[in-house]
């Protein structure tokens, strides 16, 4: 019999207050978490806005050792993993270690620690032959970010397959997709899957400055990220994490777990075109969507909501609008499409998982979160992008997509429990 994948627990650290509840309230209220960068002096940068998490690791229960050892991205992941397990009603000893896995997405790993430790050993860039005397004990954990998945494995006591999936900005989606594969093929019964990134550091901000991917609406930080709007000029860098408890459906049923949603389809494709550029036809994303729907055995007309990648770059919003039309046909014009990045910024390898969490909660609550800051529609973009205000709607099937550097395009289908084929 086919093994099906249920989401039974959610943990989220998103910009603003941590926790899945605060996250859901924010994205349904339409209020944005974008603000001037506070982590360092942003004055020399082109884009000086970010979506930061109000995250106090001690208040979130991390020990002094964890605070010292863990990069911010790892701290997010650990806190999310604990929330997700509690949400799933799983306690120490409930999981069979060898049947439990971890698949954690991250685009840039432990970038904050790596950059600051670099600054120390290089004496702020003065030395090419950097000074080993200042290397901190856990530097190797930052060097190779498998450590992020290892920390989550320790939280869950997982001893099955454990990996980081690092596919750039689709990491969060691809990691959950990989988690579904592990359950589907029978390698694991439970997988903690999600994504984490804490990229708000000088080097990341400088990178996106250099390619003008980020918004320079610096004088209006709360409204800087404007997906699908005529005045959009790029994304706002965000940070955060989401970890989901993925569970084989029968396993969840046997223990009487609440099932939030089923993940019934996932696929990804590459455009083989450009590391950062997108063709306007959205062809490969459309193909990923078709393949994901096919695996879910759903017709395009059955999709009740599309969670867009919606980064608010000129290129992206055209690209995915074309992809939705190509994959969903006439239904693209009827289905609500929104970008929660408008409120949370773009947290690279984390956001795909955060968006899956949003989709699961949207199904549970029957609410479509809006696209904030969409005040001046772009005549070229003619779908229903749910501007400004959330909408009540019963959702049986939702689609979420991601697009990232390297030309990667990913799509996933979630369905209300009991409605999947």
By CB under 8 A, the residues from 241 to 300 that bind another protein are 267-277, 284, 287
Contacting another protein within 176-215 (CB under 8 A)? 178, 181, 185, 202-203, 205-213
How many residues belong to the site for another protein (CB under 8 A)?
Answer: 89
In this complex, which beta carbon is closest to another protein, that of residue 185 or of residue 394?
Answer: 185
Would you give the DSSP letter of residue 194? E
And the tokens for 404? 């990232």
Query: Does 107 engage in binding with another protein (CB under 8 A)?
Result: yes
Contacting another protein within 124-143 (CB under 8 A)? 124-132, 135-143
Q: Decide: 73 and 106 in contact? Cβ < 8 Å.
A: yes
**Closest distance of CB 81 from another protein, Å:** 13
Query: Does 45 engage in binding with another protein (CB under 8 A)?
Result: yes
Which residue of 109, 179, 304, 336 would you call a contact of another protein, by CB under 8 A? Answer: 109
The one catalytic residue among 178, 217, 251, 346: 346
Q: How far is CA 146 from CA 57, 151, 167, 182, 244, in A?
A: 21, 9, 13, 18, 18
The reply to whether 169 belongs to the active site is yes
E strand or H helix that includes residue 9: strand 5-13
Going by C-alpha positions, the residue among 249, 269, 270 that lies closest to residue 260 is 249
The one catalytic residue among 169, 180, 217, 251: 169
Q: How far is CA 168 from CA 199, 403, 410, in A?
A: 12, 9, 11
Span of 94-102, 218-226, 321-329, 374-382 interacting with another protein by CB under 8 A: 94-102
The reply to whether 331 belongs to the active site is no
Query: Does 108 engage in binding with another protein (CB under 8 A)?
Result: yes
The reply to whether 217 belongs to the active site is no
User: CA-to-CA distance for 339 and 411, rounded, in angstroms?
Assistant: 15
Query: Does 159 engage in binding with another protein (CB under 8 A)?
Result: yes
Query: Does 92 engage in binding with another protein (CB under 8 A)?
Result: no
**Closest distance of CB 104 from another protein, Å:** 9
**DSSP characters over 124-169:** TTT-SS--GGG--TTHHHHHSTHHHHHHHHHHHT--S-EEEE--GG
In this complex, which beta carbon is closest to another protein, that of residue 200 or of residue 363?
Answer: 200
The one catalytic residue among 178, 217, 251, 309: 309
- Give the number of other Cβ atoms within 10 Å of residue 213's Cβ: 21
Q: Decide: 3 and 183 in contact? Cβ < 8 Å.
A: yes
In this complex, which beta carbon is closest to another protein, that of residue 27 or of residue 150?
Answer: 150
Which residue of 50, 153, 344, 354 would you call a contact of another protein, by CB under 8 A? Answer: 153
In this complex, which beta carbon is closest to another protein, that of residue 295 or of residue 365?
Answer: 295
Rounding to the nearest 10 degrees, give the CA dihedral for residues 87, 93, 95, 96.
170
Angle at 244 between CA 240 and CA 246, to 5 degrees: 160
Could you list the active site residues?
169, 309, 346
């Amino acid at each position: 019999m086919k093994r099906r994948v249920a989401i039974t627990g959610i943990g989220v650290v998103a910009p603003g207050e941590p926790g899945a509840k605060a996250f859901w309230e924010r994205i349904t209220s339409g209020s944005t978490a974008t603000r001037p960068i506070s982590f360092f002096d942003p004055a020399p940068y082109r884009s000086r806005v970010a979506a930061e998490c109000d995250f106090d690791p001690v208040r979130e229960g991390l020990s002094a050792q964890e605070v010292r050892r863990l990069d911010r991205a790892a701290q997010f992941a650990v806190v999310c993993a604990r929330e997700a397990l509690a949400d799933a009603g799983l306690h120490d000893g409930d999981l069979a270690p060898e049947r439990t896995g971890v698949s954690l997405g991250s685009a840039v790993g432990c970038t904050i620690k790596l950059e600051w430790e670099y600054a120390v050993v290089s004496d702020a860039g003065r030395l090419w032959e950097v000074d080993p005397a200042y290397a901190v004990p856990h530097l190797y954990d930052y060097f190779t970010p498998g450590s992020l998945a290892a920390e989550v494995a320790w939280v869950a006591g997982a001893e099955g397959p454990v990996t980081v999936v690092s596919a750039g900005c689709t990491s969060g989606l691809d990691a959950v997709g990989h988690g579904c594969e592990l359950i589907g093929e029978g390698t694991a019964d439970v997988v903690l899957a999600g994504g984490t990134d804490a990229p708000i550091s000088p080097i990341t901000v400088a990178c996106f400055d250099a390619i003008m991917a980020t918004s320079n609406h610096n004088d209006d930080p709360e409204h800087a990220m404007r997906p699908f709007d005529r005045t959009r000029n790029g994304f706002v860098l965000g940070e955060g994490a989401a970890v989901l408890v993925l569970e084989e459906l029968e396993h969840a049923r046997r223990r009487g777990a609440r099932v939030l949603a089923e993940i019934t389809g996932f696929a990804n494709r590459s455009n083989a075109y450009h590391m950062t550029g997108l063709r306007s036809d959205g062809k490969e994303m459309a193909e990923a969507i078709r393949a994901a729907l096919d695996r879910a055995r759903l017709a395009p007309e059955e999709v009740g909501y599309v969670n867009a990648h919606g980064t608010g770059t000129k290129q992206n919003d055209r690209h995915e609008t074309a992809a939705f039309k190509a994959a969903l046909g006439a239904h693209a014009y009827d289905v609500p499409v929104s970008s929660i990045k408008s409120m949370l910024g773009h947290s690279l390898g984390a956001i795909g998982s955060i968006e899956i969490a949003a989709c699961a909660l949207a199904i549970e609550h029957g609410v479509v979160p809006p696209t904030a800051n969409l005040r001046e529609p772009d005549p070229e973009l003619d779908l229903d992008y749910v501007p400004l205000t959330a909408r009540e709607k019963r959702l049986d099937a939702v689609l979420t997509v991601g697009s990232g550097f390297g030309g990667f395009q990913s799509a996933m289908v979630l369905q209300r429990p009991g409605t999947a084929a």
